[in-house]
Amino acid sequence: MSSEESPLLTPSPGVLHGYSTAVKHEQVYERFSEPRKRAILAMVSWCGLIPPFVSWSFIPTIPQISKDMNTSPSVVSLAVSLSIFAASLGGLSGASYSTFYGRRIVYLWTLPLLCVGSLGVAWSRSIPELMVWRFLQSFGASPGLSVGAGAIGDIYKLEERGGAVGIFFAACLLGPALAPPAGGFIAQYASWRVMQLALSIAGAVAFVTIFLFFPETSHPGKRGIDQIQPASTPTSLWKSWKPYLVNPFRPLALLRSPNLLAVSFVGFATLLTSYVLLVPLAFTFGARYGIGTMRSLVHASCPPASAICRCPACRQPFRQDRSKMATTTGGIWYPEDRLRATLIGAAILVPIPVLFSGLLSQFIGGTTSLVLNLICLFINGIGVDIVLSPSAAYMVDIMHSRSAEVVAADSGLRSLLLSSSVAIVLPLISVIGVAATNALAALLAWIALGVLLCIVRYGTQMRAWIDVGYSTVEDN
């Protein structure tokens, strides 16, 4: 019997269920306090900083290693190609197992491999030993990027995630900024083996920190092991430690998505501009301006250092406020809005400095040209960060439940394309000149801009072509 106190409208069970689901989803991101989230972000950023150091600190030490082992630099440089392969395989494996077992256990298994591999490289006396330990070192370090991005997606809500990913990538860019000068300086004044020992110590510090302070960030009940055996059953403890084989190449299947494949191509074309500037540095700056190796390595720090300087400013443009999204898209969550933040960088800051640097290096000399080249390097670094950070956040948005895997697949494809493309940069410069080579890189970057515009405009339709398990606003 109704009375004046009876509610006029009673919510339906469906509405109540939807409200309860939304509340539970919000509570997932409230498991950790803001200081704890910042501590987790700092820990994964430290682990993300190590892989670039492993890669970039090795290159300037190649002449000393070849002399120490009585072989040619070309033979030692094979370790670079091997490390790229190991990094791709390690990133894919770490991402796959982190989705199944969780983030924490992957860190605890791979960081010791990094430490042992670095010690092995430091103690190597022959090329075969160097190759084996270098493979193990790169394999152990590589999950830092993909698993770190996955952990950030676990703890930050949609509107906070872009800023956190931007800080994470800016921190990771400390590696390319500092590793070449550090590796070259230590090799010149001490020994290349000292650098490898330092990497082992850095890995040990990361392991101890993760072991003591890093919690499992995966959402409760969402890991693969949780689907096999619920935690409430008596045998769950044994099941949680029982080894399961996970296909490490499973993340590559995500690239069937035209959106993810297109974003990976954009990242490749963007990073290629930096490599086109950096790879011939000793021949352009060194030969034309009479700069030594160590100073060239310092100048090579300009692109990543510019991204680091941009770190405090990189947070706000990548944030997505749900009220603003509702205003601009009629209340519908449109993840491609995240990519609008990349357009200025992709249109201007990435390609134009590369184009001007090529013209300056080939046709203009003197101190003025050198200063302008350094400015081009700096601006290009800002543009690369503007494009890559929102792109990574976008991939985490649309594949939230498999965020580590999608970042690993993207990094693996990029590494494969870059390793084959960078190899032809110097031969191409010797045939057509540095200006024409840089112009081709700029043209590819503008093609990537066109791809970005297509994703922003037709992203929803493209996601409908092939469904690889996209996330929705409810589970993001």
> Distance between CA atoms of 152 and 37, rounded to whole angstroms?
9
pLDDT confidence of 313, banded at 50, 70, 90?
A: very low
Of 96, 407, 40, residue with least CA distance to 216: 40
Q: In the prediction, which pLDDT does 238 show? A: 47
Average pLDDT over residues 275-290: 64
Q: Which tens digits make up the pLDDT trace of 424-457?
A: 887 888 889 889 999 999 999 999 999 999 999 9
Average pLDDT over residues 191-218: 94
> Distance between CA atoms of 399 and 408, rounded to whole angstroms?
12
Of 161, 173, 198, residue with least CA distance to 300: 173
Cα dihedral 134, 135, 140, 142 in deg (nearest 10): 100
Q: Does 121 score more than 80 pLDDT?
A: yes
Query: Which of 230-239, 329-338, 448-457 tops mean pLDDT?
Result: 448-457
Average pLDDT over residues 300-328: 49
Q: In the prediction, which pLDDT does 347 show? A: 95
> Distance between CA atoms of 206 and 51, rounded to whole angstroms?
12
| Higher-scoring residue by pLDDT: 99, 283 | 99
Of 141, 143, 142, 163, residue with least CA distance to 152: 163
Q: Does 177 score more than 80 pLDDT?
A: no
| Higher-scoring residue by pLDDT: 382, 214 | 214
Q: In the prediction, which pLDDT does 285 show? A: 59
> Distance between CA atoms of 447 and 324, rounded to whole angstroms?
29
List of residues 6+ apart from 317 with CB closer than 8 A: 341, 386, 390
> Distance between CA atoms of 233 and 141, rounded to whole angstroms?
35
Q: Which tens digits make up the pLDDT trace of 145-163?
A: 889 988 998 998 877 887 8
50 near 175, Cβ under 8 Å?
A: yes
pLDDT confidence of 295, banded at 50, 70, 90?
A: very low
Angle (deg, nearest 10), helices 158-172 and 366-398: 140
Q: Does 20 score more than 80 pLDDT?
A: no
Q: Which tens digits make up the pLDDT trace of 49-78?
A: 999 899 888 877 888 888 888 888 778 877
List of residues 6+ apart from 398 with CB closer than 8 A: 259, 260, 335, 463, 470, 471
Which pTM does this prediction carry?
A: 0.75
Q: In the prediction, which pLDDT does 217 show? A: 92
Of 108, 105, 110, 69, residue with least CA distance to 91: 110
| DSSP state string for 193-222 | HHHHHHHHHHHHHHHHHHHHHPPP-SPTT-
pLDDT confidence of 312, banded at 50, 70, 90?
A: very low
Q: Does 114 score more than 80 pLDDT?
A: yes
Q: Does 472 score more than 60 pLDDT?
A: yes
> Distance between CA atoms of 340 and 336, rounded to whole angstroms?
7
| Higher-scoring residue by pLDDT: 371, 177 | 371
The mean pLDDT of the chain is 81
169 near 146, Cβ under 8 Å?
A: no
10 Å Cβ neighbour count for 453?
15
Query: Which of 56-65, 110-119, 223-232, 274-283 tops mean pLDDT?
Result: 110-119
**C-alpha neighbours within 13 Å on the C-beta side of residue 245:** 1
pLDDT confidence of 420, banded at 50, 70, 90?
A: confident
Q: How far apart are the first and last CA of the chain?
A: 42
> Distance between CA atoms of 290 and 282, rounded to whole angstroms?
9
Q: Does 320 score more than 80 pLDDT?
A: no
